[in-house]
Amino acid sequence: MADLEYLNYMNEPQRDAVCTTEGPLLIIAGAGSGKTRVLTHRVAYLIDKAGVNPYNILAITFTNKAADEMRQRIDDIVGFGSESIWVTTFHSTCVRILRRNIDRLGYDTHFTIYDSDDQKTLIKDICKRLNIDTKRYKERSIMSAISSAKDELLTPEDLMNASGGDFVLQKYATIYREYQNSLKKNNAVDFDDLICLTVQLFKNEPDVLDYYSERFKYIMVDEYQDTNTAQFELVRLLARKYQNICVVGDDDQSIYKFRGANIYNILNFEKYFPDAKVVKLEQNYRSTQNILDAANEVISNNRGRKTKKLWTEAGEGDLIEFKQFETAYDEADFVVRDIKTSATSGDYKDFAILYRTNAQSRLFEERLIMNNIPYKLIGGVNFYARKEIKDLLAYFKTIDNGRDDLAVRRIINIPKRGIGATTIAKVQDFAFMKEIPFYTALRYADEIPELKRAAASKIHPFTTFIQTMRSKVEFLSPSKLLKDIIDETGYVEELEAEDTDEARSRIENIDELISKVVSYEESVENPTLSGFLEEVALVADIDSLEDDSNHVVLMTLHSAKGLEFKNVYLVGMEDGLFPSYMSINAENSREEIEEERRLAYVGITRAKEKLTLTCAKMRMTHGEPQRNKMSRFVKEIPSSLLNEKYSDDYSYEDNNRFERGREYNSFSTNSYGGGSFRGNSSNTVKKTGFAKMSGLTKGAPSKLTPDYSVGDRVSHIKFGEGTVTAMKDGGRDYEVTVEFDKVGVKKMFASFAKLKKI
């Protein structure tokens, strides 16, 4: 690339970043400020103007997709010679280095890389060898602890020394030691080892480090705010000789602490490289000024950050739309109807719904389906296709209808019952021969000649459990039945013991399923298990939606990083949800809330033209209505930027809106402004699973004066016993405050709480 005409199309800070070729350089790249353009053109400038040999350039990013995109852009700009540049991920870089030199550490260069399944199998074998109970110490928890240790470059001995007498950490350290010994014995490494062993190689073998320091005289690292301690040390060692290191990132978009990202790598860059030059890219090419002003105001409340202020030449744009609803049902209904109204030409790809947790997708998915609007979940799975939801629904199906062989086979070993594949195959053969359902064959396991007595004895507890649950269907509500299934199988208990981010997310999904069942019960006159399964079958069927690029996008805020949309709906803006209860109540609460605030900043800056923030005063949590305060992040946005002023008034005088929120959950076509759903007219909607068009509120509890008052002792089916401390007449219902003996203060509506005076 002979000319440098591209410099004329850059703003001053961008040109400064591109033309600074020598010494440490920190580029603070605000959201939408053109950092990828700067990185790729800086490579071209190094070659064209600074005379750097392409062979001496290393560009590192995090994902293969990002590396491929950067490689393509560099190839297009640089042309001849670009193939000599290493454009790669951290892990790919380390694999190439270790394939040549890992023998220095006692491994063979033909080592195997273990994936997560391989790791889990190895951990399981080690626990068996050490007589460690994997019901108490879950394999995934152990894997997570080992991975976190490696992120911080901690050896098994370091972890043991850091345990401080913590018995669990000591167990993890013991397993970690055996795990590493087994990996080496098998001539295998895991993904974390790729970086840790490369760092170890550089520290132990100076000649190897010197070779790669000479090879990579110019190093560039993208998304630097997401690096962990091990990745930082790798880069620091490589750059130590020539100091020509350029890192690009945004501390305000550091949102992966849970994956090991260390924000202090970018905040303290000048400490580790005292001669570093800092260039700030603050001009935004994505959003309107009102959106940027909101983002600037929110993030300015963080202490741990480098000061910057995004601005644009695109104009002020529309005010930010803010909507506060009585219920989560109102919220979801508004968002979907607003999308339908706004997408006048049926162009849905310009709309994104962003939320804090995956469990929040359910209400929006259902309403999008009801309105025949195509959607796509990014970084997640359709709510009803998630493993934990399919497992529990399979229990429901088996209890309701034992003829569903797929449902029975799905749950026969959930939880593990030791029923092997051979046993299942023999039962299946028997069922086929006798022309009976698989579950019926299980009930007659003792009569299967090919089945040994020991195998049959493992089947009995399962069929006994199903039969017991069937006997309860007559007198238990579907929600109570679901809770009994969860309790008896220990499903949530196992996830709690696992204690990982994935497990916590799955528990949130289960809580949302419970809320769904409770909402169904409140929307029909005679709730039944069959009716619930029928309703779920209708809203879970998304096969008919077209799989093209024209769809509304649903995703978590973490998945949204790096993307942009014309219209963004940031939903569930409530304290306890966003920021989460865990961050609010954490020991290091300020740091945790600052991470959540950075997540809010990422969400706000995804919007190009229109940003809508929504929250609900009432949200179903674990099947119980829970009142929520508006997120502090909304309050941090100046009212002058919002088109609707918010209020902290949490009285429920207008309880009609609360009841109407429950009506939306009845899936009445009238609730969505008319029209039909999958060919059903308003006159043909079934009563079971759907509310009648006339009298939608029949399923909602009517107002009754409680037989208790302030000062009385009461009991609750979930929270136990407590004392009534306040009561308020909210119009359609009484709002009751109870200080429970075990769980503290709870506020609830009397008709739903079903408190009993004691």
Catalytic residue among 139, 193, 223, 330, which? 223
606 is catalytic: yes
Q: Which residues of 235-272 are buried (b: 16+ CB within 10 A; e: fewer)?
A: bebbbeebebbbbbbbbbbbbbbeebbbbebbeebeee
253 is catalytic: yes
Tokens representing residue 134 in the block: 């994997």
Q: Look at residue 739 in the predicted model and tell me its pLDDT.
A: 86
- In terms of DSSP bridges, do strands 552-556 and 565-570 run parallel, antiparallel, or are they unpaired? unpaired
Peptide bond into 579 cis (omega under 30): yes
**609 DSSP 8-state letter:** E
**Residues paired with residue 724 on neighbouring β-strands, in sequence order:** 738
Q: Look at residue 637 in the predicted model and tell me its pLDDT.
A: 96
Low-confidence stretches of the chain (pLDDT beneath 50): 1-2, 541-547, 649-702
Contact by Cβ (8 Å): 277, 247:
no
Q: What does the alpha-carbon distance between residue 70 and residue 66 come to, in Å, rounded to a whole number?
A: 6
Q: What does the alpha-carbon distance between residue 505 and residue 518 come to, in Å, rounded to a whole number?
A: 20
3-state secondary structure of 704: coil
Q: Which of 558, 551, 552 is nearest to 358 (CA)?
A: 558
pLDDT in tens, 5-29: 778 889 999 999 999 999 999 999 9
Contact by Cβ (8 Å): 713, 705:
no
**308 DSSP 8-state letter:** -
Report in angstroms the alpha-carbon separations of 601 from 353, 493, 595, 634, 636.
15, 35, 10, 11, 11
Q: Look at residue 331 in the predicted model and tell me its pLDDT.
A: 96
Catalytic residue among 40, 180, 253, 614, which? 253
| Residues, the chain | 758
- In terms of DSSP bridges, do strands 607-621 and 624-627 run parallel, antiparallel, or are they unpaired? antiparallel
36 is catalytic: yes
Largest distance between two CA atoms of the chain: 87
Contact by Cβ (8 Å): 752, 477:
no
DSSP alpha helix (H) spans, 605-709: 632-635, 655-664
Q: Look at residue 4 in the predicted model and tell me its pLDDT.
A: 66
C-alpha gyration radius of the chain = 29
Q: At what angle do helices 139-151 and 491-498 cross, to 10 degrees?
A: 20
Q: Which of 723, 753, 715, 718 is nearest to 735 (CA)?
A: 753
DSSP per residue, 536-549: HHHHH--TTS--SS
3-state secondary structure of 488: helix
Catalytic residue among 139, 178, 190, 222, which? 222
Catalytic residue among 15, 35, 305, 660, which? 35
**111 DSSP 8-state letter:** P
- In terms of DSSP bridges, do strands 744-749 and 734-740 run parallel, antiparallel, or are they unpaired? antiparallel
Q: Please, what is the Cα angle at 403 between 399 and 406, to 5 degrees?
A: 90
Q: What does the alpha-carbon distance between residue 251 and residue 225 come to, in Å, rounded to a whole number?
A: 6
Q: Which of 699, 598, 649 is nearest to 263 (CA)?
A: 598
Expressed in percent and rounded to 5, the helix, strand and coil fractions of the chain are 50, 15, 35
Q: Look at residue 64 in the predicted model and tell me its pLDDT.
A: 79
At position 69, the amino acid (one-letter code) is E
**524: phi > 0 → left, psi -120 to 50 → alpha, else beta; which?**
beta
HSE, CB side, 13 Å, CA atoms: give it for residue 464: 7
Q: Look at residue 421 in the predicted model and tell me its pLDDT.
A: 86
How distant is the alpha carbon of residue 242 from its chain centre?
Answer: 40
Q: Look at residue 675 in the predicted model and tell me its pLDDT.
A: 31
pLDDT in tens, 532-570: 887 776 565 433 334 457 899 999 999 898 899 999 999
This model's pTM is above 0.75: no
Contact by Cβ (8 Å): 116, 143:
yes
684 is catalytic: no
Tokens representing residue 588 in the block: 């290091």
Q: Look at residue 84 in the predicted model and tell me its pLDDT.
A: 84
